[in-house]
Amino acid sequence: MLPTPKRFKIVAGSAEGDTLLNSFDNALLEAGIGNVNLVRISSILPPQAEYAPDMVIPPGSLVPTAYGYVISEKPGEKIAACVGIGFSSDTFGVIMEYAGKGSKEDAEAKIKAMLESAFAARNMPLVDVKLASTEHVVQKTGCAFAAVALWY
């Protein structure tokens, strides 16, 4: 059995790169989680997980992460990524991710709507929301990335 993470941080970053993969890597570095290995997870924040914005994760660690990203090679295109966590009063949280063309305000509005829908589907009250978002105007090859990284 895998242990359940006890802490989390929410991050976002955007960057250019020489290649698609370099732009993604640079966005991760900008977000502060570029030196770890992301293990993509679905979207449930464990009960009692504590927000730790300054959490340091050892380089090379396997990090459970819910994330969204978009990469574009179209100069002048505006791209955005947002991740949001919806919190209940006494149980688990729900994480939603979005990335695509448009502004960070558009991405944030989509995340808020997704969280409201997710909590309604679970018949749970949504008592708080935490967001991280970024937008980027592509010069050559750009990436916008947003994530919730969980740790032990």
Q: What is the pLDDT of residue 121?
A: 97
CATH class of 7-151: alpha beta
For the annotated catalytic residues, the residue numbers are 37, 42-43, 97
pLDDT of residue 1: 83
In order, the DSSP letters of 26-80 are HHHHHHT-TTSEEEE--SEEPTTPEE-TT----TT-EEEEEEEEEEE--TT-EEE
pLDDT at 83 exceeding the cut of 90: yes
Q: Distance between CA atoms of 79 and 101, rounded to whole angstroms? A: 4
pLDDT for position 2? 85
- Per-residue pLDDT band for 90 (boundaries 50, 70, 90) equals confident
Helix (H, G, I), strand (E, B) or coil at 97: strand
1 compared with 29, residue with greater pLDDT: 29
User: Please, which pLDDT band fits residue 122 given cuts at 50, 70 and 90?
Assistant: very high
> What are the sequence ranges of the domains in the chain?
7-151
For residue 23, CA distances in Å to 75, 91, 116 come to 14, 37, 32
Structure pTM? 0.96
